[in-house]
Structure 1
């Protein structure tokens, strides 16, 4: 199954911590047992045969069902397991600390953190609680708001002094802009902020692009340029003087962080407790 996912014996071997030849032998043995090939082997690549594609689809479903069954069974155990998924920056800035605190309040529960920015299948049993960053109109049915996104430009004090010559628009034109690759739009935050702040003519398709908002904030603290930061993630750095907002204009959108737990009964008590705990912890971000 792993070789089918990667379409590479080498990558599958690395994931499974075995040798490439061991994976190749196991696949060959399975093909001999089945009586038909699973892969078409080319010089530098693999492709699944029609039979291989069919089996991979069924294996995925089977493994998800097994994972779901294990999770349901564990909810009756003395030490239940709760898997929580959340976006990367949320986990770095807030999520990990919250999970540690919650686990101290519920020491009999084993909590597993899964960093996921692309959404997860609650109904498929992959996770027990999902925290997702999305538009309000796209949130899961029954999902509860943790906090709405509010954005403003941020940079280091030294960088602000470096570009301080001239007025605000000249500062924006001369600055290196820091972007986060978000969905299919890497420039959206800056485009929308510039328009809302009254600087629609400032070019924004330039600068540095990072995979996560946390990387943008770290780059800003190191003086790499001006980024766009969410109020929930920058307030401590602002208070500590590590970051400043050279243009204290905040822009809000109809999107934010939402939390939703699985709906089935097994283990629902601890899941509900975690959801309520997270809502209390993030209530400060909805003030003002």
Structure 2
């Protein structure tokens, strides 16, 4: 392709154009300042004119450099989308799933065999993480998240239903503290959980002590062990309630937060991803938005 400049140096040119600095471009690409400078010079030599003005120890795009950088940016973005779409094409019945850690441990993992019976041949590769995710970078087909952050607009999302929450504790703890002051169990991963529930439910348990845990999972384990009252999302405590390991003396209040499935694009109707999403929606059985 004789009309194209050397393609590898274009990445260095684009990074330098974006940052207005060879040094910051080198940091982004994990190469040396000299490597970026030489790559840009290769592109300029192909055209026979400079794309940057070099003055006062800084670099500045020329008019032609600015026009070329904008077009290269568009082409690279299109290439990235094409790669994402190719990665998204199902090559088998294998499905890579990222799920909120506590939801995965307390609800999803105990039920995966049910999904495998409902969709014979499908294989779920489960990883745990919460919050923002780059599906392509992490090699994930779909992510199960709470809708408490903004994900890229290019992704497809589907609600699984609203999250009901309520205080939970062991039966023995409630028997001992129903008419006395209680200890509230907090988690640093959801620091406003109690405040949010009180505002939504209009209830305010009499409490004279608090205890903090680093993760939501630990606060629920502490409630099961009789330490006090913890805020429990219904899916994460449903099994413990059924086994009488926990009670929910104040009931559950539906929050404005949804559980969502995030994918690169809408799953095909006959795909393993769509079968999994349908099963999730039916099995979670949450209030709809």
The TM-score bracket by the shorter chain reads: 0.5 to 0.7
CA distance in 1 between partners of 2:118 and 2:226 (Å): 39
Distance 1:162 1:210, change over 3 A: farther
1:175 corresponds to: 182
2:131 corresponds to: 118
Deviation for aligned residue 1:98: 3.8
Paired residues of 1:134 and 1:257 also in contact (CA < 8 A): yes
1:191 corresponds to: 195
Deviation for aligned residue 1:130: 1.2
1:18 corresponds to: none
Q: How many residues align?
A: 218
CA distance in 1 between partners of 2:257 and 2:186 (Å): 18
CA distance in 2 between partners of 1:215 and 1:138 (Å): 27
Please show how residues 16-27 of structure 1 align to structure 2 within 5 Å: none
Q: What secondary structure does 1:151 align onto? A: strand
Unpaired runs of 5+ in structure 2? 1-22, 32-75
Is 2:81 the partner of 1:81?
A: no
Deviation for aligned residue 1:211: 0.8
Aligned with residue 283 of structure 2, among 277, 281, 284:
281
1:23 corresponds to: none
Deviation for aligned residue 1:193: 2.6
Deviation for aligned residue 1:217: 1.8
TM-score relative to the length of structure 1: 0.61
1:245 corresponds to: 248
Unpaired runs of 5+ in structure 1? 1-48
Distance 1:139 1:87, change over 3 A: farther
RMSD of Structure 2 on Structure 1 (CA):
3.9
1:153 corresponds to: 167
Aligned with residue 222 of structure 1, among 220, 225, 228:
225
Is 2:215 the partner of 1:211?
A: yes
